A and B are shown apart, each in its own frame.
Chain A
Amino acid sequence: QKEVEQNSGPLSVPEGAIASLNCTYSDRGSQSFFWYRQYSGKSPELIMSIYSNGDKEDGRFTAQLNKASQYVSLLIRDSQPSDSATYLCAALNNNAGNMLTFGGGTRLMVKP
């Protein structure tokens, strides 16, 4: 069974710190990876995508991918209370249909 694993948290960080969210996946055929943010009572919102090994930066967010280790991470710099949410990692294997496999999510709490 293809899986995406995340620590459920909560991960608590002080305001202004770097939050590091991690994810591992079991399907070596996965080609694309996504991070979604979900506020309580809201729908998942796509915030980052990454397709190649290495880092991809977008504002305060950096996604990191290591296909050899089957590891994806999301760094949030200068964390703000408004970043408090659940972050879902997802992996896509286009050779197995175009279904995203989601992890269970990590709840992040940024304390003022």
Chain B
Amino acid sequence: DAGVIQSPRHEVTEMGQEVTLRCKPISGHNSLFWYRQTMMRGLELLIYFNNNVPIDDSGMPEDRFSAKMPNASFSTLKIQPSEPRDSAVYFCASARTGGWFGYTFGSGTRLTVV
């Protein structure tokens, strides 16, 4: 199993530009989570999906952030327009339904907005 695959690994963009982060969960995992990690705030859950349906997006900081999961093998997190304070590492994680066995994290996308 290739694990959770995220792309790109690094993204540097200018303030105001649109940024799209991509994630492919582990096959057979029904739940997908988007996290943001910074030194100041630690790991923050942004949104999660069960069976491709968004369940809780209360962690999405602003309307500038949106996430989609068009099918079981692909999800995107979009920031439009991006701002310097969005600079962080964004992790995607997937889990079997129920999360009893914990989450598996992808390698993350390090986003820098200048």
B102, A46: Cβ atoms closer than 8 Å:
yes
Q: How many A-B residue pairs have CB under 8 A?
A: 49
Q: Once bound together, how far apart are the Cα atoms of A24 and B18, in whole Å?
A: 40
By a CB distance below 8 angstroms, the chain A residues around B103 are 46, 100
* B31 engages A98 (CB within 8 Å): yes
A34 to B97 alpha-carbon distance, docked (Å)? 16
The answer to whether A102 and B104 have CB atoms under 8 Å apart is no
Interface of A is mostly: strand
Contacts of A30-77 to chain B: CB distance below 8 A: 32, 34, 36, 42-46, 49
**A contact residues, total (Cβ < 8 Å):** 20
- Per-residue 0/1 for B71-84: is the Cβ within 8 Å of any A Cβ (1 yes, 0 no)? 00000000000000
Q: How far is the CB of A42 from the nearest CB of chain B, in Å?
A: 8
Residues in A with CB closer than 8 Å to B70 are none
Report if B28 contacts A (CB, 8 A).
no
A86 → chain B closest CB, angstroms:
10
